[in-house]
Amino acid sequence: MDAESRRAWAYLSRVTEPPNPLLAQLVSSVGVVEAAARVRRRDLENDRLKRATAARFDIDCADADLEILDRMGGRLVTAEHEEWPHLAFAGFHTLNHEKRPQGHPPLVLWVVGPLELWDVAERSASIVGTRAITAYGDYVAADLAAGLVERDVAVVSGGAYGVDGAVHRATLAADGRTVAVLAAGIDVPYPAGHSALLHRIGRHGLVVTEYPPGMRPTRRQFLTRNRLVAALGRATVVVEAGVRSGAANTASWAKALGRPVGAVPGPITSSASVGCHDLLADRAKVITRAADVVELVGQVGELAPDVARPATGLDDLTDEELTVYEALPGRGKRAVQEIAVAAGLPVTEVLGPLTMLEVRGLVTQQEGSWKLAKH
Amino acid sequence: MDAESRRAWAYLSRVTEPPNPLLAQLVSSVGVVEAAARVRRRDLENDRLKRATAARFDIDCADADLEILDRMGGRLVTAEHEEWPHLAFAGFHTLNHEKRPQGHPPLVLWVVGPLELWDVAERSASIVGTRAITAYGDYVAADLAAGLVERDVAVVSGGAYGVDGAVHRATLAADGRTVAVLAAGIDVPYPAGHSALLHRIGRHGLVVTEYPPGMRPTRRQFLTRNRLVAALGRATVVVEAGVRSGAANTASWAKALGRPVGAVPGPITSSASVGCHDLLADRAKVITRAADVVELVGQVGELAPDVARPATGLDDLTDEELTVYEALPGRGKRAVQEIAVAAGLPVTEVLGPLTMLEVRGLVTQQEGSWKLAKH
C-alpha cells in the first residue's frame, strides 16, 4: 500500500483501544486516509467515536512505529490485503456484542514472519493451556503439536509460558507452521523469557498482534487477544488448565465463534486438568491424539480412524454358539450329551452350534466327542 | 417361604441357563411349585421352554444346594419376597430383547449378607473397571468409594481383581455398604485370591448371584452377570478400562436400562483409561469426585456443589473500570490526564471508573493523582 495509507493505518492502530467497530465503520465508509484525517482534526459525527479517540488523537508516532516494524522485517495487514483471513474473522459479525463488547475483527494486524496469514488460517488448530504446565501437559502438548505438523495442520497459540511455549517449540522442532498471537506490541518480547522463542517464530512462522509497537500487555489485552487465538484456529484445544485460566476464556471465544472446542483429559488428581474436565463436562470434545484434533479442524473425509481394537474369535459368535463353546472343558473332551447338559440346551440344539464352531476352527471333533481347538 | 417352594425355586434356578423369560412366565402363571413339577415331568406346552429344560430337567440337587446356602447363612430371594428390588429390575421389561436376549430380570437370587437388597438398591452406585488397574485407578477407586460411603451411597461391583476389589475394600474399610454380584455360584470363591474379601463382603455387605451353588463362571456368565451389576446401581461409573473391557459392557447395560453412566478421565498416555475416554466421547458424564457420582445417583436436591473458585477483586469490574485499572502503573502514581491517555478514554470517562475502583478499594487517590491500592 502507499506510504500515506500505511501511516494512516498505523496512526489508527494506536488512537483507540482495539477493537473499535465505530472506527472500522468510518474507515470502510470514507477510506483509511480520510478516516485518519478526520480523527486527527476531531471532525467526527459520531460522539462515541469522538470520545473514544479524544485521549490519543494528538499522539502520532506512526513513522516511528512503522520504522520499528520495517526494522523487524514485518508488515501491516488489513482487510484491504490479500493476506487478510476474512473467513477466520467472519464469525465476529454474528456475535452478540452486548455480551461480548470485544467481539469484533481487528482493524490492523502487525505481522512478522514468512507465512501468509489467510493460508495458515485455512487449516489450523489453536492449542492453548495453563502457564503452570505439568510434565504430563508438556508431553501431551508437544505430542499433539508434532502430530498436527505430520497432518499439515498449522498450530496457533499465545506465546506464553507453559502449554503455549511447549506447542510452539514442538511445532518448530517438527518444521511445522506455528503462529503466536501477542497481547503486546510486535517489538515487545513478552514474556521476556520467550524473546528467543518469539524471534524464532518470527523467522519460521508468524508473530501477530493488533497492538502497536511498544505496548505492554495488560490483563484486558490478554482477554481481547484471546479472541484472535480462537478465531485463527479452525478449532481450539485446551491441553491443561486450572480452575481459573485464560485457556477457558479462549475456549469460550471459540465456542461463541461456532468453532469446535476440545479438551485433553488428565488425572483427576491434577489441578492442572481441572479446567479441561470442566470443559469436557460442558460438552467439549475428548482429545486423546492428534487425529482427534484433525477431526475437529473439520476437513472433509478426515474423521479420526478408529483405534485398532484387538479382536477375539469369540466376538461374532451367536448367543447359542457362545453358550456351547463355554460348555466345553478347558482341557479334555466331552460327548454331545455332556455338552448339552453343561450348556443347558437340548442335544438337538447343540449340534448346530458345534458344527459352526468347528467351521470357525474353535473346536475339533474326535470319535464323536468334542474339544476346544488348540491355538 | 415353605420348604416345598424353596426346593422348587432352587430346582428351577439350575434347570436352565438364566435368565429364561419363558420359565419366569410359567412360574408367575401357575406358581413356582407347579411350574417345577411340570418341568420335571416334561409337561410343558411351550416347545422352546421344553427344549430349554430338556438337558437338565432330571438333575435335581435342590436339597444339596439349599444345604450349602444354609451352611453359608444365606437365603433365596425372589420376586415373591419383600427384599426383591422391583424398581431396580423394572427397566428390563422395556428392553429390546432382540438386541439383548439376556435383558431379563433374574428368576432367583442366591444371597448372603446382612443387608436388604431392595434397601441397598434404593441409593447405590455401581463402580466397575479393569482388572489391570494402575496405581492411579486404585487411588481413584478407593477415593470415590470412601466419598460415597460418607454420602450414604451403597457401592455395587463385581468382586473381580482390580477396580472391583479396590472399590469393595475401600467401602468395607469405611464401614460402608457394598454388594458383590458374582458370575459363579455363591459357594465358588472367584477369583480365588478374593475368597477372603468375598467372605468379608458376605459378613458385612451382600454377595449376590443368580447361579446355583457349584457353578464355575464362564465368559457368557460374566456378560450376563454384568446386567445385574448395572441394574443394582442407580448409576454406573467406570474408573479405569482398557480398549476391550467388561466395564464397557456393564456401562452399555446401564445405558440400555436408562441409568446414567459416568467415567473417570485419566492420562491419555495410560492404556487403562482408553475405555473411559471412549465412554466420555460417547457422552458419559465426567466423574472427578464422589459428589459427581451422587449427582448421577440422582437424589433430589443433590446436585454436586460447584468447586470453589478463587476470586479476584477484578472479576466483576465493568469493561471501562478494568481498562482504567489497567491504565494505572504497577508502582507509582498517575494524573487523571495520563490515565486517560493510557486507557484510551477521554478524561470525562475516566473519573467515574476511578471513583468506583476507589470505592472497591482497588485504587487510592493522593493530591489529585491515582495509584493502585496496596494489598
Kindly identify which residue of chain A lies nearest to residue B321, measuring between CA atoms: A220
Quick one: pLDDT band at residue B304, thresholds 50, 70, 90? low
In the chain, the amino acid numbered B40 is R
**A224-246 confidence digits (pLDDT tens):** 999 999 999 999 999 999 988 88
* Tens digits of residue pLDDT in B57-112: 999 899 999 999 999 999 999 999 999 999 999 999 999 999 999 999 999 999 99
Alpha-carbon span B206 to A143, nearest angstrom? 46
Instruction: Say which of A140, A220, A344 has its CB closest to residue B56.
Output: A344
Residues from chain B contacting residue A101 (CB–CB below 8 Å): 319
Nearest CA in chain A to B272: A267
Per residue, the 3-state secondary structure of B196-251, as one string, reads HHHHHHHHHCEEEECCCCCCCCCHHHHHHHHHHHHHHCCEEEECCCCCCCHHHHHH
Given a contact cutoff of 8 angstroms between Cβ atoms, the answer to whether A224 and A130 are in contact is no
- Give per-residue pLDDT as tens, A123-136: 999 999 999 999 99
Contacts of A97 (CB under 8 A, 6+ apart): A21, A103, A104
Quickly count helices (H) and strands (E) in chain B: 17, 12
Query: Are the beta carbons of B57 and B15 closer than 8 angstroms?
Result: yes
With beta carbons under 8 A apart, name residues in chain A contacting B341: 55-56, 59
- Which chain A positions have a beta carbon within 8 Å of B51's beta carbon? 345-346, 348-349
Backbone torsions φ then ψ of B74, nearest 5 degrees = -95, -175
Question: Confidence band (pLDDT; 50, 70, 90) for A169?
Answer: very high
- At A307 the pLDDT is 57
Confidence band for B244, pLDDT divided at 50, 70 and 90: confident
Q: Report the alpha-carbon distance of residue B210 to residue B201 in Å, rounded.
A: 17
Q: Which residues contact B257 (CB under 8 A, 6 or more apart)?
A: B91, B92, B95, B227, B230, B231
Q: Please answer yes or no on whether A273 and B285 come within 8 Å at the CB atom.
A: no
Cell 468510518 -> residue: A26
Tell me whether the CATH fold assigned to B63-297 matches the one assigned to B319-372: no
- B343: helix, coil or strand? helix
Closest CA to A255 of A226, A215, A287, A222: A226
Amino acid residing at A57: F
| CB pair distance less than 8 Å for B286 and A281 | yes
d(CA A24, CA A13): 11
Cα gap A229→B370, rounded to integer Å: 34
**Please, are residues A338 and B59 in contact by the beta-carbon 8 Å criterion?**
no
Cell numbers standing for residue A18: 482495539
For the cut 80, the answer to whether the pLDDT of residue A96 exceeds it is yes
Average pLDDT over residues B7-20: 96
Using pLDDT thresholds of 50, 70 and 90, give the confidence band for residue A299. Answer: low
Q: What is the pLDDT of residues B165-194, one digit of tens each?
A: 999 999 999 999 999 999 999 999 999 999
User: CA-nearest residue of chain A to B308?
Assistant: A243
Provide the 8-state DSSP code for A188. -
CATH architecture for residues B63-297: 3-Layer(aba) Sandwich (3.40)
Q: Find the Cα–Cα–Cα–Cα dihedral B301, B302, B308, B312, rounded to 10°.
A: -20
- For an interface test with A, the pick among B210, B277, B348 (most A C-beta atoms closer than 10 Å) comes out as B277
- State which residue of chain A sits closest to B14, comparing Cα positions: A344
Average pLDDT across chain B, whole number = 92
Nearest to A307 among B51, B243, B349 (CB): B243
Q: Which residue of B has its CA nearest to A289?
A: B268
Helix axes B348-359, B319-327, angle to 10 degrees: 90
Q: Is the dihedral of CA B155, B158, B159, B162 positive or negative?
A: negative
Question: In Å, what is the CA distance from A288 to each residue of A109, A301, B275?
Answer: 34, 19, 12
Contact at CB, A266 and B264, closer than 8 angstroms: no
Choose the mutation target among A286, A315, A362 for the interface with B, i.e. most B CBs under 10 Å.
A286
pLDDT, one tens digit per residue, over A319-339 is 788 888 888 887 788 888 888
Write down the pLDDT at residue A303: 63
Q: What is the pLDDT of residue B34?
A: 98
Q: What average pLDDT score do residues B134-144 get?
A: 97
Return the pLDDT at A345: 83
pLDDT in the model for residue A312: 60
- DSSP for A163-180, please give it: HHHHHHHHHHHTT--EEE
Given an 8 Å threshold on Cβ–Cβ distance, is A244 in contact with B309?
Answer: yes
Categorize the per-residue pLDDT at B262 as very low, low, confident or very high, splitting at 50, 70 and 90. Answer: very high
- The confidence score (pLDDT) of residue B357 equals 87
Average pLDDT on A302-309 reads 59
Q: Where are the domains of chain B?
A: 1-60, 63-297, 319-372
Q: How many CB pairs under 8 A join A and B?
A: 140
Cα separation, B95 vs B256, whole angstroms: 7
In three-state secondary structure terms, B261 is strand
Q: What is the mean pLDDT of chain A?
A: 92
Count other C-beta atoms under 10 Å from residue B359's C-beta.
9
Q: Is the pLDDT of residue A342 over 90?
A: no
pLDDT-derived band at A300 (thresholds 50, 70, 90) equals very low
Residue A207: its H or E element: strand A206-209
Tell me if the domain spanning A319-372 has CATH number 1.10.287.70: no
Cell representation of residue B209: 448371584
Is A268 close to B265, i.e. CB distance below 8 A?
yes
pLDDT bracket for residue B300 (50, 70, 90): very low
pLDDT of residue A192: 93
Which grid coordinates belong to A276? 479441561
Please check the confidence at residue A254 and state whether its pLDDT lies above 70.
yes
Q: Which three cell numbers stand for residue B30?
A: 401357575
**pLDDT, tens digit (0-9, with 9 covering 90-100), for B193-208:** 999 999 999 999 999 9
